[in-house]
Structure 1
Amino acid sequence: MSNDPTDISGLPEDLGIGEDLDRSEQRVSIRVDTRRYGKAVTIVEGFDSSSADLTEIASTLKHSLAVGGTVTDDRIELQGEHGDRLRQILREEGFEIE
């Protein structure tokens, strides 16, 4: 057992429950922006950068959506417009969506 007072699950750290709880407490927002030449970019922001590995999350999203993207200023930018499918993937990953 962990001696960390922030571990509210009471379960061993090996199970990764603490990470799931951290994700479920984060409310992220999704918006679509238009860039140069009218290209759509989907922006996901609102992550708590201290508890979320944005590079890992971005990699998962890019792989699931088969698109390119980047992490900039504590937000994830994905090429194209991916509203509904992106919401589904983020919920499956344990995030709450605004």
Structure 2
Amino acid sequence: MGEDKDISDVSGLPDELGIDEDLGRAEQQLTVRVEERTYGKAVTIVEGFDSTSVDVGDLASQLKSNLATGGTVDEGRIELQGDHRERAADLLRDEGFQVGG
């Protein structure tokens, strides 16, 4: 008859559609805040990820590229050089995350 497809336990749809990843992102509430570091330098912190459903390293690379800034992943959170609160939150929302803080 038809092909055997892997069906998701979460959405009931074929895994290849990637619906579970989108649902996982929509359920996460991220926080974006700014800390002041040495010499008064601002650092934007993005935290609240469920590391089992999101590749934080890939997302950090995307943010750094879109914001044209440096940064790192430290203990499951993304740290971006500079104050990028508003723009980072907008980019995360575009990726399907809920953002507060």
Global fold match (TM > 0.5) = yes
Which residue of structure 2 lines up, in the alignment, with residue 16 of structure 1?
A: 18
Using the TM superposition, give the Cα deviation of residue 38 of structure 1 relative to its aligned residue in structure 2, in angstroms: 0.5
Q: Residue 41 of structure 1 aligns to a residue in which SS?
A: strand
Structure 2: 5+ residue runs without aligned partners?
Answer: none
Distance between the aligned counterparts of 1:69 and 1:91, measured in 2? Answer: 19
Between structure 1 and structure 2, the one with the greater Rg is 2
Question: C-alpha deviations, 1:44-91, integer Å up to 9, x for none?
Answer: 000011111000110110011010000001100000001111111000
Using the TM superposition, give the Cα deviation of residue 3 of structure 1 relative to its aligned residue in structure 2, in angstroms: 4.3
Q: Partner letter of residue 36 of structure 1? A: T
Using the TM superposition, give the Cα deviation of residue 17 of structure 1 relative to its aligned residue in structure 2, in angstroms: 1.3
Identical residues among aligned pairs (%)? 55
Distance between the aligned counterparts of 1:39 and 1:90, measured in 2? Answer: 23
Distance between the aligned counterparts of 1:28 and 1:39, measured in 2? Answer: 23
Which residue of structure 2 lines up, in the alignment, with residue 25 of structure 1?
A: 27
- Please report the TM-score for the alignment, with normalisation by the length of structure 2: 0.89
Q: Map 1:35-46 onto structure 2 (within 5 A).
A: 35-46=37-48
Runs of 4+ aligned structure 1 residues displaced above 2 Å come to: 1-5
Which residue of structure 2 lines up, in the alignment, with residue 86 of structure 1?
A: 88
Which residue of structure 2 lines up, in the alignment, with residue 2 of structure 1?
A: 6
Distance between the aligned counterparts of 1:4 and 1:87, measured in 2? Answer: 29
